[in-house]
Amino acid sequence: MKTIEVLDGGMLTTVQDLGRFGYQRYGVPTSGALDLFSMRAANRLVGNPDDAAGLELTLIGPRLEFVVPATIALTGADLGARLGDRPLPRWESVVVEPGAVLSFSGPQDGVRAYLAVAGGVDVPEVLGSRATYIRSRLGGIAGRKLEAGDAVHVSGDRPVLLGGALQLPVPHRPIYGHAHLLRVVLGPQDDRFTPNGVHTFLSSTYSVSPQSDRMGYRLAGAAIEHLRGPDIVSDGTPLGAVQVAGDGVPIVLLADRGTAGGYTKIATVIGPDIPRLAQAAPGDEVTFDSVGLDDAYAAVRVQEAALATIGPIRHGPDVARLRKVAAVVATVASLQRR
Amino acid sequence: MIVEFGDSIDPAINRRVRELFLAIERAAVAGVRDLVPTYRSLLVSYDPLRTTFDSLRSHLSELDAHLADTPLPPPRVVEIPTAYGGTFGPDLGFVAGHNHLTEDEAIAIHAGTDYLVYMMGFSPGFTYLGGMSERIAAPRLKTPRTAIPAGSVGIAQQQTGIYPVESPGGWQLIGRTPVSLFDPSRHPPVVVEAGDYIRFVPVTLDRYSAIQDEIQRGTWTLPVRGVTT
């Protein structure tokens, strides 16, 4: 069903899901949401399965008009979302009326927001996924970013959440800031660097370069010293691989990365920390901390536990909102007394 | 997890990669999300909520020890009709001249061998081929072209390959095939896979057009045969 009319596509708004698996052997990148935590949270908030397709919004959000009622959830970056003339709360489900326009005033925290619509964005599956891979024009809406005039269709017919609104409790909502500590597991080619090089990698503060995109985040900072050159016989590139080419600076490979590469990889950023990097803006600080596999697995479980806290909105814990409501009530009361 | 079998480009090493790849596919190992076989290693992506490195490693070691039980399917040779030279292969003259050959000699050398598909990547449908003769090696273009048509057959140093989709690139273009090497609406989306061989078969421009028509009508079948060399 046609649910959204795109009035303005924004900087880079694409249809994404959890990614395209089973085709990397043919050279097809996985693509999928860069911040999988936010994508999955958005889906769960509207009652979708984790692998439903949603929209990934980048930095400058789009302008979207709803043409039918819908239940939506916005997660990830704070891009200054407004529904009509009111701020749209993030990390909770909201029922939207036909004619409502979702717009964005500009980034406040983080760079990528995720919009889920109950039912899931309906585009044809390409190789088992709806994720957009622009470089090869695969998936999404004609394999490209959203443009003004596009219609976004939604599957099924469940505009309103039956059990009431859902939220991710405030303590689990990430605040991104401008300094990002990423945990890494060393390898597979950490033995191709000098001990000094590994030390440089783990002790330096890097800065996110403007040449960062869905393929990977290029970092600027101290050069990492190779033992005998940066070239290897090409092998597979896992999500989060920290590739160090001849210039010695690290590149963290993300969802749109090539499936194989011929440069040394010093480490791999653990899955639960990829969302943090995906929210980093050019100029942000990045540091790396080496952990073992058990720590990495524990971090995965912590993240799953956070997602599992999504539940009905209760007014008790949300003190900040209650205070706001109380303040408004007090103002209205004082106006009435005059 | 990356399973390394060596660090060189060697058909024997590549064969072991492929054997383990197929064994894992057949065994449908729990928790494995995706596999990326390369020249000399196998990337195994797994879901840490369903398995761990240690249990996966012991499972794969077990499979590796019994590879003989699941022999590889016999290798296929996929024949790729190719129109050499002219507008389809603007650099054929350079490649021939660089190696003090006539164009026909260069074509005969290029089309005279079965090339092993070592791996596919880094982009959709791109094949890493092994076995090109040094006698037709040529350096990359100094200035890469901004748009190379899909199906272009090129040479870069001692490698040869086919551009599966239109893309920029710096290879010397010697010909073009009407065969689409990557089509996401097909299952599988590729016509050759790692472990197959490619044989370039010279065709005239007329034959090229005829094959192109047949492909469009859906009546073309790609010639595939067993290894004879």
Residues B133, B53, single domain; the answer is no
Residues B35, B122, single domain; the answer is no
User: Using CB atoms, which residue from A136, A232, A236 is nearest to B36?
Assistant: A236
Q: Suggest the residue from A23, A36, A135, A233 to mutate for an interface test with chain B (most B CBs closer than 10 A).
A: A233
Q: Stretch B91-97: mean pLDDT, rounded?
A: 97
Is the pLDDT reported for residue A234 higher than 90?
A: no
Nearest to B220 by CA among B178, B192, B185: B178
What CATH number corresponds to the domain at position B180? 2.40.100.10
Residue B22 structural domain: 2-69
Minimal Cα distance from B7: which residue of A? A233
The pLDDT of residue A330 is 61
pLDDT digits (tens, 9 = 90+) for A136-175: 999 999 999 999 999 999 997 655 555 689 999 999 999 9
- Chains A, B: CB contacts under 8 A, how many? 111
Is the pLDDT reported for residue A337 higher than 60?
A: no
Percent of chain A's residues with pLDDT above 70: 91
Residues B80, B113, single domain; the answer is yes
The minimum CA-CA distance between A303 and chain B, rounded to whole Å, is: 11
Of B29, B48, B69, the residue that ends a domain is B69
pLDDT digits (tens, 9 = 90+) for B175-206: 999 999 999 999 899 999 999 999 999 999 99
Would you give the DSSP letter of residue A223? Answer: P
Domains of chain A: 2-171 (no CATH), 179-306 (2.40.100.10)
Residues 6+ apart with CB under 8 A from B165: A136, B123, B124, B125, B150, B182
Average pLDDT across chain A, whole number: 93
Cβ count near A298 (within 10 Å): 15
pLDDT digits (tens, 9 = 90+) for A199-221: 999 999 999 999 999 999 999 99
Of B35, B69, B103, the residue that ends a domain is B69
Whether residue B2 and residue A135 make contact (CB cut-off 8 A), yes or no, is: no
Residues B137, B25, single domain; the answer is no
The minimum CA-CA distance between A304 and chain B, rounded to whole Å, is: 9
Residues B59, B129, single domain; the answer is no
Nearest to B46 by CA among B54, A27, B5: B54
Residues of A in CB contact (< 8 Å) with B are 21-30, 126-127, 135-136, 138, 187-188, 232-239, 258-261, 271, 293, 296-297, 300-301, 304
The minimum CA-CA distance between A183 and chain B, rounded to whole Å, is: 16
Residues B204, B126, single domain; the answer is yes
Whether residue B122 and residue A234 make contact (CB cut-off 8 A), yes or no, is: yes
Residues B47, B81, single domain; the answer is no
Residues B81, B169, single domain; the answer is yes
Residues B12, B50, single domain; the answer is yes
pLDDT digits (tens, 9 = 90+) for B112-127: 999 999 999 878 999 9
| Cα A103 from Cα A5, distance rounded (Å) | 12
The pLDDT of residue B45 is 97
Residues B212, B128, single domain; the answer is yes
Domain count for chain B = 2
| Cα A263 from Cα A233, distance rounded (Å) | 8
What CATH number corresponds to the domain at position B17? 3.30.1360.40
Residues B25, B46, single domain; the answer is yes
Diameter of chain B measured on Cα atoms? 60
DSSP A64-105: EEESS-EEEEEEEEE--EEETTEEPPSSBEEEE-TT-EEEE-
The pLDDT of residue A159 is 53
The minimum CA-CA distance between B67 and chain A, rounded to whole Å, is: 20
Of B19, B47, B69, the residue that ends a domain is B69
The pLDDT of residue A42 is 98
Residues B98, B38, single domain; the answer is no
